[in-house]
């Protein structure tokens, strides 16, 4: 469009040049002169002039026509040269780039580049807006969930506040009581627990530790009125320390080990009576006449060197059958199990009877000359010598007075309106 506008402007400029306008006016003047001359020539011929005058006039007229023709030819050639020159200028202008057009084209390129950059920026902005909208929706959902969580937390806080108010009221109710009451109640609980350990479980060591802990609680009170209670606690502790502290568990484990060895002990399956004393050997005589007696004595000596014969006149006990062997072993196991159960139940008499029965069974049915049987008998005798008897007190002296003191303080507390 810019090029078309430029061509139109150039055409208008060409049409408006003074050469074109002057050329057109000269042609009109020449044509008007020729027409006037042709119209006026008959009238001139008709005028009466001399012959020489008409000839001169005719010759001057031809010269003027040739002059005008020559002038018109020169003018036409000039116009043609001017047109050719102008056409060449237009061709040169069209072939040579116009700086303004180049500048406009560069400006258009810059504008197109800016437009492409703006379009890419716009696309990126739209993508970013979509991502931001997605993130905003996610944040909105998260915010809604957080609001719900905050509502739940608020409800929990309110519920905890109500609970704290209730606890505060309870603490306010208990705040008027002295800490000594709590320590005294704890000491009473420890004394009762010591009694349960002592009589239900037979655990003397735990009972002593609990009584000592109760004494520490009463000591923390620093109350002189509780000194008699501490004296009774000390008496109970001393009484329990004098109880036999034998470990019944260790004894029970030792008996269990003896039970496991029963099957490995060799039984006495045959009992031989004592051999009778052999006859004394007769000495050889120096008398020749006693050769028969000497020969007999020599023969008996030779036979005794190769063959030994023992004579037993007592009755020989027969072999023990397999069933009797099994029964002997089971009797020993049963007696040992009774001893184990008795020691765990602190039944001293039954424990010693069961061990004595086990010892009798071993002596009766097992090989006494075996090293293992001898060690087994020594173990049984050592267990029999252990004193498992212990006499527990029927009650703890500090338990009843301590309970009475707590009861008195409770009655005093309610009587005072607290």
Q: Which residue has the tokens 């800016």?
A: 114
Q: What is the pLDDT of residue 203?
A: 79
Q: What is the pLDDT of residue 65?
A: 80
Higher model confidence: residue 381 or residue 392? 381
Q: What is the pLDDT of residue 169?
A: 62
Higher model confidence: residue 167 or residue 55? 167
Q: What is the pLDDT of residue 353?
A: 92
Cβ 396 vs Cβ 191: under 8 Å: yes
CB within 8 A of 82, min separation 6: which ones? 19
Q: Is 34 helix (H, G, I), strand (E, B) or coil?
A: helix
* Mean pLDDT within 69-92: 84
Report CA dihedral (249, 252, 254, 257) to the nearest 10 degrees. Answer: -130
- pLDDT (tens digit per residue) in 143-158: 898 888 888 888 888 8
Q: Is the pLDDT of residue 214 over 50?
A: yes
Q: Is the pLDDT of residue 326 over 80?
A: yes
Q: Is the pLDDT of residue 219 over 90?
A: no
- In the structure, what pLDDT confidence band is assigned to residue 344 with cuts at 50, 70 and 90? confident
* Mean pLDDT within 184-189: 87
Report CA dihedral (374, 377, 382, 383) to the nearest 10 degrees. Answer: 150
Beta bridge partners of 317: 271
Beta bridge partners of 267: 366
- pLDDT (tens digit per residue) in 164-174: 876 766 565 55
* Mean pLDDT within 378-398: 84
* Mean pLDDT within 258-262: 91
Helices 204-221 and 179-199, axial angle in degrees (round to 10): 170
Q: Is the pLDDT of residue 35 over 50?
A: no
Across 85-94, 293-302, 306-315, 378-387, the highest mean pLDDT is recorded for 378-387
Q: Is the pLDDT of residue 336 over 50?
A: yes
Q: Tell me the pLDDT of the chain averaged across its residues.
A: 75
pTM of the model: 0.40
Q: For the chain, give the percent of residues with pLDDT over 90.
A: 11
Q: Other CB atoms closer than 10 Å to residue 132's CB: what's the count?
A: 11
- In the structure, what pLDDT confidence band is assigned to residue 50 with cuts at 50, 70 and 90? very low
Q: What are phi and psi of 193, to 5 degrees?
A: -65, -35
Q: Is the pLDDT of residue 300 over 80?
A: no
Q: Is 246 helix (H, G, I), strand (E, B) or coil?
A: coil
Q: What is the pLDDT of residue 67?
A: 82
Q: Is the pLDDT of residue 239 over 50?
A: yes
Q: What is the pLDDT of residue 140?
A: 87
Q: For the chain, give the percent of residues with pLDDT over 70.
A: 71
- In the structure, what pLDDT confidence band is assigned to residue 176 with cuts at 50, 70 and 90? very low
Q: What is the pLDDT of residue 153?
A: 87
Nearest to 299 by CA among 291, 311, 289, 309: 291
- pLDDT (tens digit per residue) in 2-34: 444 444 444 444 444 433 443 444 444 444 444
Report CA dihedral (10, 12, 18, 21) to the nearest 10 degrees. Answer: 140
Helices marked H in 175-203: 179-199
Q: Is 418 helix (H, G, I), strand (E, B) or coil?
A: coil
């Amino acid at each position: 469009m810019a090029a078309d506008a430029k061509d139109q402007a150039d055409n208008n400029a060409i049409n408006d040049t003074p050469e074109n306008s002057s050329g057109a006016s000269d042609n009109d003047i020449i044509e008007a002169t020729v027409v006037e001359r042709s119209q006026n020539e008959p009238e001139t011929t008709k005028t009466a002039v001399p012959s020489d005058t008409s000839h001169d006039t005719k010759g001057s007229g031809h010269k003027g026509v040739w002059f005008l023709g020559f002038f018109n030819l020169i003018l036409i050639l000039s116009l043609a040269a001017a047109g050719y020159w102008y056409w060449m200028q237009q061709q040169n202008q069209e072939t040579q780039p116009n700086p303004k057009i180049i500048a406009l084209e560069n400006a258009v390129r810059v504008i197109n580049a800016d437009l492409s950059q703006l379009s890419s920026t716009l696309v990126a902005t739209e993508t970013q807006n979509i991502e931001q909208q997605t993130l905003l929706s996610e944040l909105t959902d998260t915010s809604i969930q957080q609001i719900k969580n905050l509502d739940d937390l608020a409800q929990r806080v309110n519920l905890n506040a109500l609970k704290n108010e209730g606890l505060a009221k309870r603490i306010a109710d208990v705040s008027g009581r002295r800490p000594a009451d709590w320590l005294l109640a704890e000491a009473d609980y420890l004394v009762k627990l010591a009694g349960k350990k002592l009589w239900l479980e037979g655990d003397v060591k735990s009972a002593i530790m609990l009584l000592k802990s109760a004494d520490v609680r009463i000591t923390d009170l620093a109350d002189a009125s509780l000194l008699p209670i501490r004296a009774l606690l000390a008496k109970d502790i001393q009484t329990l320390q004098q109880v036999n502290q034998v470990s019944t568990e260790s004894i029970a484990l030792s008996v269990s080990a003896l039970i496991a060895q029963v099957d490995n002990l060799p039984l006495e399956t045959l009992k031989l009576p004592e051999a009778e004393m052999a006859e004394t050997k007769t000495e050889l005589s120096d008398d020749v006449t006693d050769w028969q007696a000497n020969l007999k004595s020599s023969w008996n000596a030779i036979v005794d060197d190769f063959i030994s014969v023992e004579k037993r006149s007592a009755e020989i006990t027969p072999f023990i059958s397999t069933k009797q062997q099994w029964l002997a072993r089971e009797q020993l196991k049963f007696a040992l199990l009774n001893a184990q159960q008795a020691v765990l139940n602190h039944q001293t008499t039954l424990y010693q009877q069961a061990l004595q029965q086990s010892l009798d069974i071993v002596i009766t049915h097992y090989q006494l000359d075996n090293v293992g049987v001898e060690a087994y008998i020594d173990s049984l005798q050592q267990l029999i010598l252990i004193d498992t008897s212990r006499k527990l007190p029927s009650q703890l002296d500090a338990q009843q007075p301590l309970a009475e003191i707590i009861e008195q303080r409770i009655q005093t507390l309610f009587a005072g309106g607290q």
